[in-house]
Chain A
Amino acid sequence: MASDYTRTVTSLDTKSVLKHLDVELTERCNNDCVHCYIRKDTGSRIQDAGCGDDGIGSCEMTAAEVEGVLEEAQGLGCLTVRFTGGEPLLREDFEEIYIAARELGLRVIISTNATLITQELANVFARVPPLEDLDITLYGAGRETYEAVSRSPGSFNEACRGLALLSGKTIPFSIRSIVLPQNSCDAQSLATWRKIQPTMPDPLPPTIYLDLRARRDSSTKNDAIRKLRMPPSDIVAWLSQDRAKYAAEHRGFCRKFAGPPGGLLFRCGAGTNSTCVDAYGNVQMCLLLRHPETVLPKKQRIKGKGSRGRLEYALEEFFPEVRKKQATNSDYLARCAKCFLNGLCEQCPAKSWMEHGTLDTPVEYYCEITHLQALDLGLLKPGEKAWQVPDWQQRLQAFCA
């Protein structure tokens, strides 16, 4: 509502050094989902979180440390913080951290499985609203499918109870779902349920790509995740269910992002005006990218720091240097660097890190998906490789026309 002196705003388009911050409050989780790329297998308390000295700092930040990060973020013009995990509500000091964020004038997104929402917490959210929808992941529409994913008996009822408590206080939330073999039969009922929630006029599309372990700490778990992945042909079938919308979206995307990227690795916005802090205080460009060359460790002394904080140093010096990195992998240079579909592909340094432990190794799974999509959209002919198409510009022009 505008007046002569004020206007209401729901978003700000500023040139702040930092617009959005993700804070991973913990890697612990009370569920044990089959597909999880984060959950740290430890006890349920911070003290059991496996503190040790591995050079990057592996003790969870205290509430005071988190609040220090939030203060610095606020000073850099940040308006929105997301608390994520693991399961952030596992933190016994969550309420303290949440209130501190709100008292700094930050809007808060909470990514949670909702199983730990209590009446007390719902009352807190009613009294001090987060100003953003809670971001809730549901793993199935019924107990059997949900708990086949979460592997946590009773978690479905706990999630439903959490949602009921939020609804009872009219606290807005959005539901994410994730498509897995265990719950694929629920896809339609979940989509229908999400559409009829009054607080969710635009349901979020389900997650269909499964990432491998971000800490690269379990080849066994990675093998299990790979087995859960939808075959590339199924991914394309899923994405293209609404043909007209699918084609239109890809035309729009290709107009902006298609074309060979060359050797420059970072083409996304990671580390530009958003960043993330992991559970131990290490500053990352994005939640998934934990390659040591791209992470500012908590314990690293900052040269010429003066009064600058770690976030400011990361955003203004450390990350800009990382973003200059060029690929050196010959396979990447022969393929991804020359691929005119690179913007459509999930390939990025974070994916390469999770799959291969490097920044520039082609991920075959995503390459195959992108090629099948391109074939389906008429951008490629059968048997063609997208890095060997001399007339790619004409093809894009024709496709986008």
Chain B
Amino acid sequence: MKIDPNTVYVPSKNVVYREIEGEPIIVPITSGIGDLEDDLFSLNETGKAIWAAMDGKKTPADIAESLAAEYEGPADELKTDVTAFLKELLKRNIIWTSDTDATEA
């Protein structure tokens, strides 16, 4: 499963993002999210920042660039993080492409 650097990825409509006492939690709504049906997902700080940057317009490269500017971090490292994070979420059906999002509307 590859992440296309020119594709916009967005949170799936089949999950709910919540922050509980500051902890980012992703709660599946439908089946088929993640490996086990009753799993919830918590994000670390990097994951939380990348999730917040998924605004429906930014590609993975755009996200890495915006985070590099915001956190003054090395862009290459952030590109790796963004790609790896999105790949993980895509594999678990937590995110999908913006085209899919449009058809699921």
Q: Which residues of A approach B to under 8 Å, CB–CB?
A: 1, 3-10, 12, 14-16, 74, 77, 79, 102-107, 126-129, 131-132, 172
Contact = CB atoms under 8 A, between A and B. Distances in A.
Contacts, number: 91
Contact of A12 (B25, B34, B38, B50): B25
A312 to B, nearest CB: 15
B44 interface: yes
Contacts of B40: 8-10, 12, 107, 131
29 contacts: A4-B46, A4-B84, A4-B85, A5-B46, A5-B81, A6-B42, A6-B43, A6-B44, A6-B47, A6-B88, A8-B34, A9-B39, A9-B42, A10-B39, A10-B40, A12-B20, A12-B23, A14-B23, A74-B18, A103-B16, A104-B16, A105-B17, A105-B27, A105-B29, A127-B30, A129-B30, A129-B38, A172-B37, A172-B38
B104 interface: no
Interface string B27-60: 1111100111111111110110010000000000
Given A12-B23, A12-B25, A131-B38, 5 more contacts: A1-B35, A6-B43, A8-B40, A15-B21, A16-B21
Contacts of A104: 16
Contacts of A107: 27, 38, 40
Interface in B51-105: 81, 84-85, 88-89
B42 A14 contact: no
A131 B28 contact: yes
Contacts of A102: 29
Given A6-B88, A105-B18, A132 B23 contact: no
A7 B41 CA distance: 6
Interface size class of B (residues with CB under 8 A): 20 to 34
Given A5-B44, A74-B18, A105-B16, A10 B25 contact: no
Contacts of A5: 43-44, 46-47, 50, 81, 84-85, 88
Q: Which of A5, A79, A126, A132 is packed against the most chain B CB atoms within 10 Å?
A: A5
B89 to A, nearest CB: 8
Given A5-B84, A14-B20, A128 B37 contact: no
Chain A binding surface, main DSSP class: loop
A128 B41 contact: no
Contacts of A103: 16, 29
Nearest to A131: B38
Contact of B20 (A79, A126, A132): A79
A103 B85 CA distance: 24
Contacts of A127: 30-31
A284 to B, nearest CB: 24
B84 A6 contact: no
5 tightest Cβ-Cβ pairs between the two chains A and B: A105-B16, A5-B47, A105-B27, A14-B21, A8-B39
A393 B43 CA distance: 47
A13 to B, nearest CB: 10
Contacts of A12: 20, 23, 25, 40
Nearest to B51: A5
A107 B20 CA distance: 14
Contact of A9 (B17, B25, B84): B25
A375 to B, nearest CB: 43
A107 B45 CA distance: 24
B31 A129 contact: yes
A127 B46 CA distance: 31
